[in-house]
Structure 1
Amino acid sequence: MWYKIILPGLIMLLLLTGCWDIKEIEDVGIITGVGLDVNEENDELTMINQYVVPGKIPTQQDSSQQSTPFQNIALSGKSFFEIIRNNSLESNRPPNYTHLKSIVTSTTMLEKERADEVIDLFIRDHEFRRTTPVFLTREPVLDVLNTESEKEIFPAIQIKSLSENYQINNTNPNNLTIGDMSQSISEKKSFLIPGITLEEGRIKLSGAGIIEAESSNYVGWIDTKDIEGVRYIYNKVQGGFIYLDEKVIDDGPVVLEIKDSKTKYKTKVNKDQLEMTVQVHISSVLAEDWGIGRKVFQKGWKKELEEAANQVNEEKMERVLNLAQQEYQIDFLNLSKWVQIHEPAYWKKHEKEWSEIFTDMKIKVEVKTKITDFGTQNFNTE
């Protein structure tokens, strides 16, 4: 009967071999952020790896930050794979990208190199995750990654957190991941990369950069003020607010909080001429009203606010459409998607001519805003 006791013990010894391949955190080169730029001296690729320095991370017992808990190592080379391997010349900790939080690339990089070639390693290598967000900057990338953030101890994590606020303020560009980039590139579509900048030593979201489908290069910039129009056309508005000043209403200003927004696309082909209507339906709440003389108990008083909101948002969308059709002549708004869905026969016939068709296509914008609630005051008089 002794074997009934010894045999299970032997099996457990074989199965529970311990953490034989464990590595101490100090021996692992954990990378939280990657920066991509061009070396101005020799025109080579530059890759910046933001290493975690475990021994300098503040603890709960000692929350005071005595020194910087990260180290940025910038190296140049002919390929990113070469640069990664050459990190061993400056650090005995091989870089590990499984905890990568953000990738920042410069406009200079994507002017010089094709975006599809730049992201090849990040799509191909198993350590890089397709969910990692990507950002574009017109600043030197090393300056961005060297910035000591106020809310996070690592700049790369601070940058990632910026992409999580898009449902609060519609001037924030939507999040874009490496996987999103790969999909747009494979579908041969132009797209936008969220922009970041440095303002008074702080990292801040700022507009977006345009990547053109055919060249796969950076070709222009969308300012922060125009991002809201982009998001309405993208059907990516989940919240935010509408600000109405004295230019559009008699007694103001007024702030409407957006509770819901839906964008619909209608197409029509008339004698082989394509037309499109972009309709936006917004449900909002009166969040703040500086119009002390407003007759809120008078029936129909909110009509002025709703019409003003319609006008403001239509102008924002029309300005963005003008940028796309006239200034850049690039469909970075992805309107071709709706032509493919609603007019498949037309698309099949004219797909190769889309660049020319897009710039001349008649696009009408219609916005319908409805105020559905009035806060705790509840002045609900239709």
Structure 2
Amino acid sequence: MKRIKSCILVIIIMTNTILCTSCWNYREINDLSVIFGLGIDKKHDIYEFTGKVLLTANEENKGNNLSQTFISSKGTTIFDAIRNLILQDGKRVYFGHLSFIVISEDIAKEDINEVLDFFMRDDETREDMWIFIAPEPYTSKEILEIGLDHQELATYVNDTIENVRYIGKLYPIKLYEFIDISNSKGKNGVIPLISIKKTLFGDSAYTEGNAVFQGNQMVGKIDGNESKTLSIILNKQNGGILPVKYNDDEEISKVSLEINKTKTKLAPKYYDDNITIEISTQTTAVLAEIMNNNVNVFNEEGRKKLIESTENIIETNIKDLVSKAQNKLKSDIFGFGQLIKTDNPSLWKQIEDDWSNIFQDINIKVNSVVKISGSALYKKIIK
């Protein structure tokens, strides 16, 4: 009996070895258009696609080096526009290397999830791709087509996101992160803005600030400094420069602090029928620049004034951004609702359906603590 079982096992192994000799879905790269950047616009209810693709070596393009070009198409739906790309070069588009999408502001204001739905469902696309909004008057096509001569857009996107901690003036987000937020109650999403700026080398991509959403619709924007404050509230600020300008008796002091780390804690409090969110921040920074040599920020009195001024600036920035989100944008981009849901589930069940209105009336208390840990490499004032 054991010998029979052994023979059957050997036959199965040999059969699988013969039959399973290659990938079932293997495709030659020459049969595909490998796309790694995509812009999406909409005109008269028709979607317009602009894609940046790699060209493999062929009879016209001999050699081992890959070149790049643009392809474009139109369609009544996203999938229709994608398949119409075949009409340009006869190849299917491969999205496995697509690293970012740029979406026009008019689409974002209408319903951005109509565009993102395909990329979440398709089995080739990556859920961790970065998404951007092209603010008016720019189109996604204009932004995608810049930079072939002196700046590769994909490189710019990757480098900017990798180094965003050094400036903090945008809050980057991936496709799956935004979808998760838009599908939940108690928090709204933001997407970074990407536009065009003139430089000495020509037009260049420029990323600063964020588009603010309420559900799946864009309702406004925040600038770079407000995006930095948003990162602080969300406990995502791990660097950046904080310029501090304050009056010291008759002197106006300008100091730059380089942030090492900011830790933020959010705590909901309930007083009668009112909800208060207590925001506490602890910031560690180094003294990176002193622009007024008549002010001594190294003695006890000078350091105290600098710390107090810095704490006031952080607290004011937080209060101003929350007020803008409540009164102008009417969007809970901080996740206060999710905080209440976790802290007090029974209360959340009562208010979740009306949270967008309740959010506009909640109170906040802000307390910021700043610690200056040093003064970089130079510990004197230049006279």
Q: Taking structure 1 as the reference length, what is the TM-score of the superposition?
A: 0.84
The answer for the alignment partner of 2:11 in structure 1 is none
The reply on whether 1:126 has 2:127 as its aligned counterpart is no
Paired letter, 1:274? I
**Residue 345 of structure 1, CA deviation:** 3.0
Report the Cα distance in structure 1 between the residues aligned to 2:107 and 2:32, rounded to whole angstroms.
29
Q: Which amino acid aligns with 1:100?
A: L
The separation in 2 between residues aligned to 1:94 and 1:248, in whole angstroms, is 66
Task: Map 1:333-372 onto structure 2 (within 5 A).
Answer: 333-372=334-373
Aligned partner of 2:176 in structure 1 is 179
Query: Hey, what does 1:48 align to over in structure 2?
Result: 50
Q: Cα gap change, 1:277/1:22 in structure 2, threshold over 3 Å: closer, same or farther?
A: closer
Which residue does 1:267 correspond to in 2? 268
Which of 81, 99, 102 is matched with 2:100 structurally?
Answer: 102
Unaligned stretches of 5+ residues in structure 1: 1-9
Deviation of 1:178 after TM superposition, in Å, equals 0.9
CA distance in 1 between partners of 2:211 and 2:279 (Å): 23
2:287 aligned with 1:289: no
* Paired position in structure 2 for 1:5: none
Residue equivalent to 2:157: 159
SS in 2 for 1:90: helix
Q: Which residue is equivalent to 2:230?
A: 230
Which residue of the other structure, out of 31, 37, 53, is the alignment partner of 2:35?
31
Alpha-carbon distance in structure 1 between the residues aligned to 2:180 and 2:296: 52
CA deviation profile, 1:311-359 (whole Å, cap 9, x unmatched): 1112211221111111122212222122222333322222222122111
- Structure-2 change in CA distance of 1:22 and 1:129 (3 Å): closer
Partner of 2:76: 78
Change (3 A) 1:192 1:17: closer
Is the Cα–Cα contact under 8 Å of residues 251 and 290 in structure 1 kept in the other structure?
Answer: no
Structure 1 residue 303: deviation in Å? 0.8
Letter in 1 for 2:228: E
TM-fit CA distance, 1:54: 3.6
Question: Is the CA contact 1:251–1:293 (under 8 Å) kept in the aligned structure 2?
Answer: no
Q: CA deviation at 1:304?
A: 1.0
Tell whether the 8 Å contact from 2:47 to 2:78 is kept in structure 1 after alignment: yes
Deviation readout 1:118-166 (Å, 9 max, x if unpaired): 211101011111110101111111100110157754x234234322222
Aligned length: 355
Aligned counterpart in structure 1 of residue 114 of structure 2, from 113, 117, 129: 117
Pair 1:103–1:296, CA change in 2 (3 A): closer
Task: Give, in angstroms, the shift of residue 174 of structure 1.
Answer: 2.2
Q: Percent identity?
A: 25
Deviation of 1:247 (Å): 5.3
Tell me how far 1:261 sits from its aligned partner.
0.5
Q: 1:281 to 1:99 in 2, by over 3 A?
A: same
Unaligned runs of 5+ residues in structure 2 are 1-13
Q: Aligned partners of 1:199, 1:51: CA distance in 2, in Å? A: 24
What RMSD, in angstroms, separates the aligned Cα atoms of the two structures?
2.8
SS in 2 for 1:253: strand
Amino acid in structure 1 at the alignment position of 2:34: I
